[in-house]
């Protein structure tokens, strides 16, 4: 089969020379329209070196499988004999072709119907089911990451100062204050980018589970308990109640007044709620910048105009750009191309250059919005649990993780139910009683050792359970030091005349050695991620 990469007129391209080589390796003939990758910095010669043929645009549109960045606005309706030969652009899609693109099927039902009438099998890259197995196809998350990073770049270009504080002979300047609303993929990317530039970053999200993610990025969590929602089942925020919205707006007003940069990312199922009112903008300092990442959904700021730069009466700049990923075409094209290649690889199990779309595959079915002349949108809901499994009556297959932050209990194998809290508490009480009896029956010196061990376990549990993710690597170094102490103690006891003591000493020395050398190996690989050149590449392999 032939895969075509037309020139759809934008700076992005859904295949890079690297991903083109992957497609060729799967057995496909790849044709790329002349100049299709020029906007992203990929010359035609690079595609030819990867094994593709550079052809006129019309030939790319007429391929068996056509991949573009975004679906066209409209399609001509074919007559009884089909489209006339030589049709240009999207109208050159042949009947029965496979189209891979961002389609926005929920917002563009007319286009989905036109694709179905054409007999096109349409795969929407922006309709990937949010399950673990489909993460490598998740274009929306990838583009959100780019948009969050680019938002900080746009803010830095508009802001009249430096993000990091400076110490000079003439005096010092404070760092910029950045406030990020929303800690999803885009928000976390913005937090990371702003922090790397030296800004003081504060962030807020109505989802309580997002606080740990904000702290792990080095930002300060803004607390507004009255606005916090219950822990979400799917990792996404839902609409706020009136009281929660009022509490959130109060927090936004305080933070916006003190911020130099405000980046808003709040979207609830594609709709942008108001988070920055005109009154809040009026309290901000002249020269402050608001970057509204929710502009495609209408905007979080009341003064946002999608696609435009607006300056308020008091000199605050509001950016409502809707094309932030397009402003980083090379990186965005690499992410799009990787997702397309992953999708094609999923549909080519035989690596024989033939695309096989399994309608029973939940990933393929969720992305297929039109096929066989029928509209298949919306897809059936993704099942998170399966019917009775062969393991026995009442057994249930383990559910898939539907999104980051989701929580599903995995049932025990063979249909066994997890122990009830009463049973668990009873077992804990029995274990505690046996431990107390063992200590009471031991000599005084041995009882002191048991007491120290018990206190160490309790203290260690509470200390480690409250350590932030950002401190896990330093904590690992501390555990290496403790393992070193255990290793020395074990080696001193190996020569004991008591065989039990010798056996325990050997086991302790072995386990401590594994922990020490494993910890050093992991630390070495992590440090390699921050090195440049060949050393870093070797460490990451």
pLDDT at 81 (0 to 100) = 43
pLDDT at 91 (0 to 100) = 82
Report d(CA 239, CA 245) in Å as an integer: 9
Across the range 256-261, mean pLDDT stands at 97
Strand, coil or helix: what is 2?
strand
pLDDT level of residue 407 (50, 70, 90 thresholds): very low
Q: Say which CATH class 2-127+347-375 falls into.
A: alpha beta
Residue pLDDT, tens place only, 432-446: 788 777 777 777 777
Q: Nearest to residue 178, comparing CAs of 162, 266, 295? A: 162
Q: Provide the β-strand partners of residue 53.
A: 31
Contact 207, 407 (CB under 8 A): no
Mean residue pLDDT of the chain comes to 84
Dihedral sign, Cα of residue 279, residue 280, residue 286, residue 287:
negative
For residue 398, pLDDT over 50 is answered with: no
The per-residue b/e assignment along 71-86, b for 16 or more CB within 10 angstroms, e otherwise, is bbeebeebeeeebeee
pLDDT at 237 (0 to 100) = 61
pLDDT at 467 (0 to 100) = 64
The per-residue b/e assignment along 150-176, b for 16 or more CB within 10 angstroms, e otherwise, is bbbebbbebbeeebeeeeeeeeeeebb
Tokens of 243: 């009281």
* Domain 143-327, architecture per CATH: 3-Layer(aba) Sandwich (3.40)
Least confident of 27-36, 69-78, 163-172, 330-339: 69-78
pLDDT level of residue 393 (50, 70, 90 thresholds): very low
Report d(CA 71, CA 77) in Å as an integer: 16
Residue pLDDT, tens place only, 408-439: 343 333 444 445 667 777 887 887 788 777 77
SS (H, E, C) 176-195: CEEEEECCCHHHHHHHHHHH
Across the range 286-291, mean pLDDT stands at 97
Residue pLDDT, tens place only, 305-349: 999 999 999 999 999 999 999 999 999 999 999 999 999 999 999
Tokens of 187: 């928000």
Q: Provide the β-strand partners of residue 264.
A: 181, 292
For residue 505, pLDDT over 80 is answered with: yes
pLDDT level of residue 123 (50, 70, 90 thresholds): very high
Q: Kindly give the interhelix angle for 499-528 and 472-493, rounded to the nearest 10 degrees.
A: 150
For residue 405, pLDDT over 50 is answered with: no
Residue pLDDT, tens place only, 28-47: 999 999 999 999 999 999 99
For residue 356, pLDDT over 60 is answered with: yes
For residue 394, pLDDT over 60 is answered with: no
pLDDT at 432 (0 to 100) = 77
Residues 6+ apart with CB under 8 A from 156: 163, 197
pLDDT at 80 (0 to 100) = 46
Residue pLDDT, tens place only, 371-392: 999 999 999 987 654 443 344 4
Residues 6+ apart with CB under 8 A from 462: none
Q: Answer with the residue of higher pLDDT: 230 or 515.
A: 515
User: Could you tell me whether strands 177-181 and 200-204 are parallel, antiparallel, or unpaired per DSSP bridges?
Assistant: parallel
Across the range 293-307, mean pLDDT stands at 95
Q: Cβ–Cβ contacts within 10 Å for residue 286, how many?
A: 12
Q: Provide the β-strand partners of residue 396.
A: 388
For residue 239, pLDDT over 90 is answered with: no
Per cent of the chain over pLDDT 90 is 54
CA 254 to centroid of chain Cα atoms:
29
Q: What is the DSSP string of 125-160?
A: GGG---SGGGGGG-HHHHHHHHHHHHHHHHHHHHSS
For residue 537, pLDDT over 80 is answered with: no
CA–CA distances in Å: residue 465 to residues 362, 462, 471: 37, 5, 12
pLDDT at 402 (0 to 100) = 36
Across the range 272-295, mean pLDDT stands at 96
Report d(CA 181, CA 292) in Å as an integer: 10
SS (H, E, C) 209-256: CHHHHHHHCCCEECCCHHHCCCCCCCCCCCCCCHHHHHHHHHHHHHHH
Kindly list the catalytic residues.
130, 135, 138, 141, 236
pLDDT at 391 (0 to 100) = 41
The residue written with tokens 């494993």 in the block is 518
């Amino acid at each position: 089969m032939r895969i075509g990469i037309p020139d759809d007129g934008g700076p992005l391209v859904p295949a890079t020379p690297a991903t083109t080589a992957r497609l060729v390796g799967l057995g496909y003939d790849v044709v790329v329209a002349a100049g299709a990758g020029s906007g992203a910095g990929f010359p035609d010669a690079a595609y030819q070196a990867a094994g593709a043929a550079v052809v006129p645009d019309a030939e790319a549109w007429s391929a068996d499988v056509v991949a573009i960045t975004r679906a066209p606005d409209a399609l001509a309706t074919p007559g009884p004999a089909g489209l006339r030969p030589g049709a240009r652009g999207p109208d050159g899609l042949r009947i029965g072709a496979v189209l891979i693109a961002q389609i926005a099927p929920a917002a563009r039902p007319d286009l989905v119907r036109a694709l179905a009438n054409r007999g096109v099998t349409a795969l929407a890259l922006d309709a990937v089911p949010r399950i673990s197995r489909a993460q490598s196809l998740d274009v929306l998350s990838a583009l959100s990451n780019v948009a969050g990073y680019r938002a900080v770049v746009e803010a830095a270009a508009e802001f009249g100062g430096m993000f990091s504080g400076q110490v000079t002979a003439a005096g010092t300047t404070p760092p910029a204050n950045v406030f990020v609303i929303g800690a999803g993929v885009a928000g976390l990317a913005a937090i990371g980018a702003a922090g790397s530039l030296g800004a003081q970053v504060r962030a807020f999200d109505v989802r309580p589970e997002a606080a740990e993610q904000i702290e792990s990025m080095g930002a300060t969590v803004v607390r507004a308990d009255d606005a916090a929602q219950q822990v979400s089942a799917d990792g996404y925020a839902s609409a706020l109640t009136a009281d929660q919205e009022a509490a959130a707006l109060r927090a936004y007003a305080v933070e916006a007044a003190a911020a130099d940069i405000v980046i808003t990312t709040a979207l609830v199922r594609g709709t942008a709620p108001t988070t920055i009112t005109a009154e809040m903008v009026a309290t901000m300092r002249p020269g402050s910048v608001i970057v509204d990442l929710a502009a495609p959904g209408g905007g979080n700021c009341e003064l946002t105009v999608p696609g435009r730069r607006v300056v308020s009466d008091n000199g605050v700049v509001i950016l409502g750009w809707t094309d932030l990923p397009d402003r980083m075409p090379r990186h965005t094209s690499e992410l799009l191309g990787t997702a397309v290649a992953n999708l094609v690889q999923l549909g080519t199990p035989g690596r024989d250059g033939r695309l096989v779309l399994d309608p029973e595959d939940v990933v393929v079915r969720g992305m297929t919005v039109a096929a066989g002349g029928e509209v298949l949108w919306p897809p059936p809901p993704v099942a998170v649990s399966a019917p009775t499994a062969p393991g026995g009556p009442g057994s249930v297959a383990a559910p898939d993780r539907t999104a980051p932050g989701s929580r599903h209990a995995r049932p025990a194998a063979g249909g066994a139910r997890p122990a009830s809290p009463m049973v668990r508490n009873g077992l804990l009480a029995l274990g505690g009683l046996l431990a107390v009896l063992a200590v009471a029956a031991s000599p005084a010196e041995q009882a002191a050792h048991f007491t120290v061990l018990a206190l160490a376990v309790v203290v260690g549990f509470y200390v480690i359970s409250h350590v932030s993710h950002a401190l896990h690597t330093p904590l690992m170094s501390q555990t290496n030091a403790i393992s070193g102490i255990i290793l020395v103690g074990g080696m001193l006891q190996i020569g004991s005349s008591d065989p039990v003591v010798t056996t325990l000493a050997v086991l302790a020395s072995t386990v401590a050695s594994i922990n020490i050398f494993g910890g050093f190996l992991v630390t070495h690989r992590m440090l390699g991620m921050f090195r440049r050149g060949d050393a870093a590449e070797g460490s990451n392999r």
